[in-house]
Chain A
Amino acid sequence: MHILIVEDEVKTANYLAKGLTENGFVVDIVHNGADGLFNARETKYDLLITDIMLPKLDGWAIVEKLREEDMKVPILILTARDEVNERVKGLELGADDYLVKPFSFAELLARVKALLRRGTNKQVVMIEIADLKVNLLQNKVQRNDKKINLTPKEFNLLVLLAKSHGELLSRTYIAEQVWGINFDTDTNIVDVAIRRLRQKIDYDFEKKLIHTIRGAGYVLEDRG
């Protein structure tokens, strides 16, 4: 997967590139809007991550020009300004997602993966991780062939974790995806939800699947 980062702040660009590379992406960095537009036109990227305030050409203009030229590359906007109007403007111009600084890297990664998945659009019916089976059609969950009863929200939470298994999900992202709460809340609530899910999914089994990453979020994976 090939990602272009357009970001004039060198430190930010470098840590983003480092993190994404470590997660298996191929990353190009440019530091101004004009180069960003040029590269996006010349190379076929799978994703474009762009800042708004950029020298030479701002992020809005890049999105606008690419969409005018019918380039369908997914675009994730990063910005330090989160005026509601700006968010709307960005999405109206044709950006696919919008992330406000400061953000956690886990959150960026989750969104990047979600955007990349969006294109493939494969209908998943069954997710299997170790001995966990999640049937998305019948809303059924089994572990070690034992049926587990979950509330609808718990089921949604499990599906979210299972679909992006192996990926770190931040509390904010989880709150947004499961409860539609898109502002900062007391994230203890997510912790409570995870703890209850754990009681049902992990408590009675030796192999634990849901793991806490301190200060970052949660991940569901088979750690052997």
Chain B
Amino acid sequence: MFWKTEVKNQPERSWSITNKLTNLYTCAIFGIFIIIALVLYFLLFKLIHTAEKQYLIDEIHILRTLLQQHSSDLRSLSQEVNAVPAALKNASYHYYVKILDNQNNLLMQTPQMDKLHINNFPTITNSWEKTIHYSSNELGQKYMLMTGPIAFDNRGNVSKVAQIALDVSFQEQLIKKYRNYIVILLLLVVASTFLLSRAITKRGLRRLYDLVKMTENIIKPPFLQSQINIIDWPKELTPVGIAYNNMVKRLDDTFSRLSHSISELAHELRTPINNLMGEAELVLNKPRTSVEYEKVINSSLEEYSRLSTVIDNILFLARTDNPSTVLQKQKLNAYPEISKIAEYCELAASEKGIEIEISGEAEVWADKDLFYRTIYNLLDNALKHCRQNGKVLVNFMQCNEWSIIKIADTGRGIEEKHLQFIFEPFYRIKDINNAHEKTLGLGLGLSIVKSIMNLHEGKIEVQSEVNVGTTFSLYYPVVN
């Protein structure tokens, strides 16, 4: 009735914090890693490529220098053209050279050159240093091709050119391997980031899980047992922990008050029902005169109206206890309104020889019906506890932001130990001298007054001195 124990499943699309954080971390690391890997990859690629190109250019310059030194004797090149592959067998660069004249006639070439079937050497231009072609064969070998001038005639025109093919297969392999390593590494990094961040997040959220578990546990009172020790809690969660503890404490208070009220209520209902049952049973035991039946029915009516009053008051209290109750607030002039209630109570007062005195001036912003009930309850209370021929003083005043109404009686007073409880529902001070409990009412009057004052955002205070009297002070906030 008060607690819903069923737990609604989370909507399917909502992710847990752990999953969310893990995924975000993983994505971030993945992104950073990809960028680093790409940069490194392209740097490597660029370095290798530049080195290769430079190698080709250098080679052409070597050929040209050789030719110049040997006054264009082609034989001087033969060592460079033929011996190189053999000499550099174990080196990382293998190259093949072809020497042509300006008519494209072959003058000289590395022996294995024709086996390579390379025919897309770039044609010679002024920017030959920048012109690079590639060729690859069916064996998977890749060549970097460059054509460069190595001799010039008298007019400065190119007379001989060298076509060089550099075997770059090894470097290509290297780059390919490097690429594969990167991919493998990437997978490893993603997987380990995922697992690590998951573990870290779980550890970081441990207190949160604690809180969740605690919250799940608060199904059964007493709630005070589920207070959390927040001393070693992280800073971010401490306020939650404190709020949680406060909530638990309030729940505990409310629940114990509630169960106390319910048992009091049940008790309150039990007495009249017991009377009703007993009387009805008894009267049906044997035939009776109609006068006797009538007597029982009349007595029943009294019990029914007692039950009805209990229910009315409980309902009223429940309603005023609900903070969403809408008030029909209006400005009330205290004197005439209170006099109206006092006039009604005066009948009861004069029976006990009590005098009700009203004085002061104040305007009160309140719901009229609830205001009447508040004043009535307090007056009624004062009259019940006032001595024979005593006095009840009602005094009101305007004091800054409060309209204050004080209702004082010259009664027996309330002992200090009772004072903090008198606003609790059904709280009645057992009085040995006053045996007829019925005149003391249900013990709901002051609770009702208190919840009405709460609804009005006001407050109620009580001062009491044994054998002198009790004063209740109502504080209504002034509305501008």
In Å, the complex CA distance between A196 and B316 comes to 32
Q: Is B308 an interface residue (CB 8 A)?
A: yes
Known contacts A102-B308, A181-B376; is-contact A189 B345 (Cβ 8 Å): yes
Instruction: For residue B362, give the distance in angstroms from its CB to the closest CB of chain A.
Output: 21
Residues in B whose Cβ lies below 8 Å from that of A175: 344
A192 with B347: CB separation less than 8 A: yes
Smallest CB gap from A100: residue in B: B312
Known contacts A104-B305, A153-B343, A175-B344; is-contact A185 B376 (Cβ 8 Å): yes
Known contacts A179-B340, A188-B348, A192-B347; is-contact A216 B301 (Cβ 8 Å): yes
B319 with A83: CB separation less than 8 A: yes
- In the complex, per-residue mask of B330-372: 1 if CB is within 8 Å of any chain A CB, else 0: 0000000000110111011011000000000000000001001
Instruction: For residue A201, give the distance in angstroms from its CB to the closest CB of chain B.
Output: 16
Residues in B whose Cβ lies below 8 Å from that of A186: 348, 380, 441
In Å, the complex CA distance between A148 and B185 comes to 113
Instruction: For residue B259, give the distance in angstroms from its CB to the closest CB of chain A.
Output: 25
Q: Is B207 an interface residue (CB 8 A)?
A: no
Smallest CB gap from B295: residue in A: A214
Smallest CB gap from A188: residue in B: B348
Residues in B whose Cβ lies below 8 Å from that of A82: 315
B347 with A193: CB separation less than 8 A: yes
Within the complex, which residue of A85, A179, A185, A214 is in contact with B343, where a contact is CB–CB below 8 Å? A179
A184 with B369: CB separation less than 8 A: no
A184 with B380: CB separation less than 8 A: no
Q: Is B298 an interface residue (CB 8 A)?
A: yes
Residues in B whose Cβ lies below 8 Å from that of A193: 347
Q: Is B302 an interface residue (CB 8 A)?
A: yes
Interface residues on chain B, number (Cβ under 8 Å): 33
Residues in B whose Cβ lies below 8 Å from that of A192: 347-348, 350-351
Q: Is A182 an interface residue (CB 8 A)?
A: yes
Smallest CB gap from B313: residue in A: A184
Residues in B whose Cβ lies below 8 Å from that of A180: 340
In Å, the complex CA distance between A193 and B350 comes to 11
B348 with A179: CB separation less than 8 A: no
A179 with B344: CB separation less than 8 A: yes
Interface residues on chain A, number (Cβ under 8 Å): 25
B298 with A182: CB separation less than 8 A: no
Smallest CB gap from A216: residue in B: B301
Q: Is B181 an interface residue (CB 8 A)?
A: no
- In the complex, per-residue mask of B298-314: 1 if CB is within 8 Å of any chain A CB, else 0: 11111011001101110
In Å, the complex CA distance between A88 and B301 comes to 30
In Å, the complex CA distance between A201 and B130 comes to 133
In Å, the complex CA distance between A186 and B343 comes to 14
In Å, the complex CA distance between A68 and B376 comes to 40
Residues in B whose Cβ lies below 8 Å from that of A214: 298, 301-302
Q: Is A215 an interface residue (CB 8 A)?
A: yes
Q: Is B373 an interface residue (CB 8 A)?
A: yes
Residues in A whose Cβ lies below 8 Å from that of B316: 183
B298 with A215: CB separation less than 8 A: yes
Residues in A whose Cβ lies below 8 Å from that of B299: 215
Contacting A at CB under 8 A, from B453-475, are none
Residues in A whose Cβ lies below 8 Å from that of B341: 181
Q: Is B328 an interface residue (CB 8 A)?
A: yes
In Å, the complex CA distance between A192 and B343 comes to 13
Q: Is A84 an interface residue (CB 8 A)?
A: yes
Instruction: For residue A150, give the distance in angstroms from its CB to the closest CB of chain B.
Output: 14
Smallest CB gap from A187: residue in B: B305
B348 with A189: CB separation less than 8 A: yes
In Å, the complex CA distance between A84 and B315 comes to 12
B369 with A84: CB separation less than 8 A: yes
Pick from A84, A175, A179, A186 the residue with the most CB of B within 10 Å.
Answer: A186
B441 with A183: CB separation less than 8 A: no
Q: Is B291 an interface residue (CB 8 A)?
A: no
Known contacts A214-B301, A215-B305; is-contact A183 B369 (Cβ 8 Å): yes
Residues in A whose Cβ lies below 8 Å from that of B340: 179-180
In Å, the complex CA distance between A118 and B319 comes to 33
Residues in B whose Cβ lies below 8 Å from that of A184: 309, 312-313
Instruction: For residue A177, give the distance in angstroms from its CB to the closest CB of chain B.
Output: 12
Instruction: For residue B214, give the distance in angstroms from its CB to the closest CB of chain A.
Output: 37
Pick from B300, B304, B305, B351 the residue with the most CB of A within 10 Å.
Answer: B305
A-B contact pairs, 6 of them (CB 8 A): A84-B325, A183-B376, A192-B348, A214-B301, A214-B302, A215-B301
Q: Which 7 A-B pairs have the closest CB atoms?
A: A215-B301, A214-B298, A192-B347, A179-B344, A215-B298, A102-B308, A215-B302
Question: Residues of B with Cβ closer than 8 Å to A?
Answer: 298-302, 304-305, 308-309, 311-313, 315-316, 319, 325-326, 328, 340-341, 343-345, 347-348, 350-351, 369, 372-373, 376, 380, 441
Further contacts, 13 of them, CB under 8 A, given A179-B344, A216-B301: A84-B325, A84-B326, A84-B369, A102-B304, A102-B308, A102-B311, A183-B369, A184-B313, A186-B348, A186-B380, A189-B345, A193-B347, A215-B300
